[in-house]
Amino acid sequence: MEAMKTQRPYSVYYLLLLHTVLWGIVTCKECMEEDCYDTTTPPLKFQDIVPKNYDKLVPPTVHGEPATVHIKIAILNINYVDEEKQAFGVDIFFHQVWNDPRLKIPSTHNTSRLVLDSKWRTHLWTPDTYFKNLVDGKVNDIIIPYSYMVVDSKSDLFFASRVSLKLDCEMDLTSYPHDVQQCEILIMSLQHTTDNVVLVWKEFQITENILLAQYYVSGNTSKNGTKKYNIGEFSYVSGKINLARRLGYFLINKYIPCVLIICMSFVTFWIPAEAYPARVTLSVTSLLTIVTQQYQSAMPSVSYVVALNIWMLSCIGFVFCSLLEYAFVIAVMNNNGTDLWPFRKFKKLFHPSKGSCNDSEAGKSPTRSAESSKISHQAIDKASRLIFPLFFLIFCICYFVYFCRR
């Protein structure tokens, strides 16, 4: 009996302890479901950062000075360059920074940088910037919209977004394929004149190692200024990308084959004039091959002459002249080197016959005249062996020196 009396108090203690633990678990679960935790920082509201008389249509000018908007563009990738449509596509990070002293971080938030709700952007004053040469564009939102806005303790606002753009690019293809195109990204203020908003560059940069099939980035320039219109003067910033065309394709598929074809046509000057089939076949084959190269050339669809047109037409002219040279050789050979009408005309023009000559001199004069105006077909071929390659070399030097200036 005494043992039972000593065990009862311990049983009571165990029951009280179990009741306390179960009550704590139930109370904690109810607190979690009802969100009864005490938060030290209250949720941020739009009214906490803007004053009551805030007007989103009025730019944040201070003491009559226009609001300065600093713009940064980082080009991530150049997707394509379309010569036919005179356009190019880019992916960029677009940043804007400006100061709006009307916005303040509330004292309840002990932070120097605060990310704002994306829905508040329509209720705040933001720069009315737009891409003047834009054809099409979108803000990437595959996972979430790639844009956000931040305000710091100095009332500086930072807006960033990742944008894909299709922009106009006025191309001058006169030096094609040795051309360097300058494609521009032009940003302007839409509504506000320079009295209210001024745009300036913070940075304009291009990602290194951008690979394109036909171009490489040879540099970039940036500037800011103003443009005057009938309704006022507006601020703008402009960034230009220098795109130089790669010559590997044209060197392998156009220039080297054309040089070899022309050299092949010059080989006919070393073939005897009596070998009609060999010289005619070689000359005609060279001419047909170079004409085929001309029609297979990837020319841009423009209505003016480009550098590659000049090259191909000149090469056709050299091959055609080599064929005409052989026709001239055949004419001389068939006439057995007799007087040629060009030389005879010039001789009569500069050396007219004199009537005071005696009979003996008159009898010798025609023979001497004929001998001086005779020319052999071997001499024509020998002169062509030097003249044709020399003129072609001079043409190549002039062509590449003129069109390869960058």
Q: Could you check whether 46-245 and 249-338+375-405 share the same CATH topology?
A: no
Domain 249-338+375-405 has CATH 3.40.50.80: no
Query: Mean of the per-residue pLDDT values for the chain?
Result: 83
Backbone angles phi, psi at 196, to 5 degrees: -115, -35
Model confidence band, residue 4 (pLDDT cutoffs 50, 70, 90): very low
Average pLDDT over residues 244-272: 92
Predicted confidence (pLDDT) at residue 346 exceeds the cutoff of 70: no
Residue 292 is predicted with a pLDDT of: 86
Of the pLDDT bands very low, low, confident and very high (cuts 50, 70, 90), residue 108 is confident
**Per-residue pLDDT, 374:** 56
Instruction: Using the predicted structure, report yes or no on whether residue 118 has a pLDDT greater than 90.
Output: no
pLDDT band for position 127 (50/70/90)? very high
Q: Tell me the C-alpha to C-alpha distance, in Å, between residue 52 and each of 22, 48, 67, 103, 153.
A: 51, 10, 21, 11, 19
Domain-wise residue ranges, the chain: 46-245, 249-338+375-405
Would the pLDDT of 342 be above 80?
no
Angle, to 10 degrees, between the axis of helix 377-403 and the axis of helix 256-266?
170
| Residue 19 pLDDT level (bands cut at 50, 70, 90) | low
- What's the topology of domain 46-245? Acetylcholine Binding Protein; Chain: A, (2.70.170)
Burial (Cβ within 10 Å: 0-12, 13-18, ≥19) of residue 175: middle
Helix axes 341-350, 359-373, angle to 10 degrees: 140
119, 54 in Cβ contact below 8 A?
Answer: no
Q: How confident is the model at residue 38 (pLDDT cuts 50, 70, 90)?
A: very low
User: Which whole number is the average pLDDT over 129-154?
Assistant: 88
* pLDDT single digits (tens) 219-245: 999 999 999 999 999 999 999 999 999
Cβ(210)–Cβ(217) under 8 Å? yes
Please state, in angstroms and rounded to a whole number, the distance separating the CA atoms of residues 227 and 234.
Answer: 5
